[in-house]
Structure formats: C-alpha cells, structure tokens
Amino acid sequence: MVSVAILGAAGGIGQPLSLLLKMNPHVTRLSLYDLVNVPGVAADVSHINTNSSVESHLDKQNLGAALAGIDIVIIPAGVPRKPGMTRDDLFNINAGIVRTLAEAIADHCPAAIIGVISNPVNSTVPIAAEVLKARGVYNPKRLFGITSLDVVRASRFVRDIKPSVDAAALRIPVVGGHSGATIVPLLSQAEPRVEFSQKEIEELTHRIQFGGDEVVQAKAGAGSATLSMAYAAARFTESLIRAISGEDVVEPAFVSLDADPRGAENIRALGAGSLEFFAVPVQLGREGVKRIAPVPSITPFERKAIEVASGELQKNISKGVSFTQKAKI
C-alpha cells in the first residue's frame, strides 16, 4: 500500500490521472496539488467508492503538506503543447515549474520515487536531477521520465496495420528519448514477434515518433494528448507500485544510465554513447531502478535511428543542465 502525490492534478493530464489512481486498490493516500481548481477535483474523485483517502492542496504554501510522507510523486504540471509548438517551445515555462517542484520534493520527501511527465521530458528530467544533486538527495534509481505513452502508441499503431495482433498483449521496447526523432521503437524486438516489411517499419517508426502531433492537430488548439497520457502514466505508476510490493516488472522509462552502470553498457554500445540519460527497458524494484534490462541485437535501421536520437538527446540534456546552472540552484 502506497501514498501517491500528483503535482498538477487539476490539469488536462492530472484530472484523468487522479481518477485512474483513485481506482487503484493499492493506493492508500492520494495527495492532489495544483495552483488552481484542485479542491473541486479532489472533492469529485473522493466520492469514488474505493478505500484511498484523497487530499486537496491548493497553491504554493501548501506544497510541502502535499508531499509530506509520500512514496511516489507524479508530475504532469505545466502548459500543454498547442498547434505549431514543439516540446522545446514549452521549455521556458515548464523548466521553471519542474525546478520549483523538484526543490520541494528535495525538502519534503527526498526518498520518494519521482515520475516526470512535464515536457520536454528530455530536458525536464535532467533539471530535476540537477536540483536533487544540488540539495544532496539525488538517487538516480528513483528518478524517471515517464515515456510509457510511446510504448502504448507503438502497440496500438501496430494493431492498426496488423488486425490479428492483440494490442494489449504486444510489447515493443521504445528507447532513446520522448520527442520526435529521439523516440526509437525497436520493432524487431516485438513480443510476440510480428513480421513487418521495411516500408511498414519506416512508416510505423515515423508515426510512433510523431504520434503526439496527431492529437495536437485533432484538438485544434485545445491541448495535446491528455487522456492517453494519463492512461500511460497510470500504467507506469501501477508498475512502480507492484515493484515496491516486491514484484519484478519491466517498463521502458527515461532514466539516468548511472542508475545501473553495468546494465547501461549494453545500450551505450548500441549507440547511446556517453549520454547520461536515455529511455531504456527498466526492471523496476523496491528502490526504483533495479537494473537496466538488456536490449538484444538490433537492426541496422534501428541502430541508425539510435545514432540520430543520441545527437538530439545530447542537446536536450545539455539544455536542461544549463538551465539549472544559470538559475544557480
């Protein structure tokens, strides 16, 4: 049984995520925080007939109370992407939000496992890491960028062209980062195995990489992926809860490769090089990252995609680190 805080609970992702985690029987305490509207969200979900308690924490002066005694912190706070915007366009606003929340986590629940949703994840996770380092409480095993939506999309999009495939049972590792060309689905590693033509591989890879654009364009200015992201975040949180309870669970996530240096040797050899952060299949445990799961041999197409992703990721990671250095945390 665990306590979970959602920072940004009144937003487009936060509200459905609050609903899904209130339905989770393993959550005993659900702490909801936001700058606006969170009392209504908390009151609403508190009427759901599950056993978890629900707390409402409004505005910055109550952030510490929202985090006290928390086991898992999920951060969907920030502004959504709109048509014409890239994840980098969100950086200047969301970077400051994540920095402030990471500082509060360092002060009030430094041992919590942290899952960052706020985009651009390729930069916001390094920001959170630098904040925690500066406060002397950084544990690379306990900080995650939640990239589960890329995995969910990969399974669903394969089903779209292979109707005989069970999307819920299909597992496709997605490595690299969480935006555009940094997202690298390893379709050759699909379990159960699926046969693809090269044309299908190229088209699927592009759709998985830029699937978020489909939602942004379809919502026509009303936001980005919120419902599917909430589902993916709830799935990742459930995996963390199962791992805390002693199960071995594998989920891809954007993590520090320092969390398991030996396990990281495999992904570095496949193209991650000297990068500090990379999305990899992670075997979760009670402490967060138990180990980085090995990735078997990949195709030349996938290797090239990882090389492209790594070049872009280095820029994204450096941008996050540079932000914290300029902020003089």
Kindly list the catalytic residues: 178
List CB contacts of 248: < 8 A, sequence separation 6 or more: 283, 284, 285, 290
Side-chain-side CA neighbours of 241 within 13 Å: the count stands at: 20
Structure tokens at 83: 């048509």
Q: Which residues face 115 on adjacent strands?
A: 74, 144
SS3 content of the chain, % helix, strand, coil (to 5): 50, 20, 30
Residue 186 · residue 173 · CB < 8 Å: yes
Element spanning 54, H or E: strand 53-58
DSSP 213-260: HHHHHHHTTS-S--HHHHHHHHHHHHHHHHHHTT--EEEEEEEEGGGS
Token pair recorded at residue 195: 């046969």
Burial of 3 (0-12, 13-18, 19+ CB in 10 A): buried
Cα(125)–Cα(259) distance, integer angstroms: 14
**H, E, C per residue of 36-47:** CCHHHHHHHHCC
Residue 120 preceded by cis peptide, ω within 30: yes
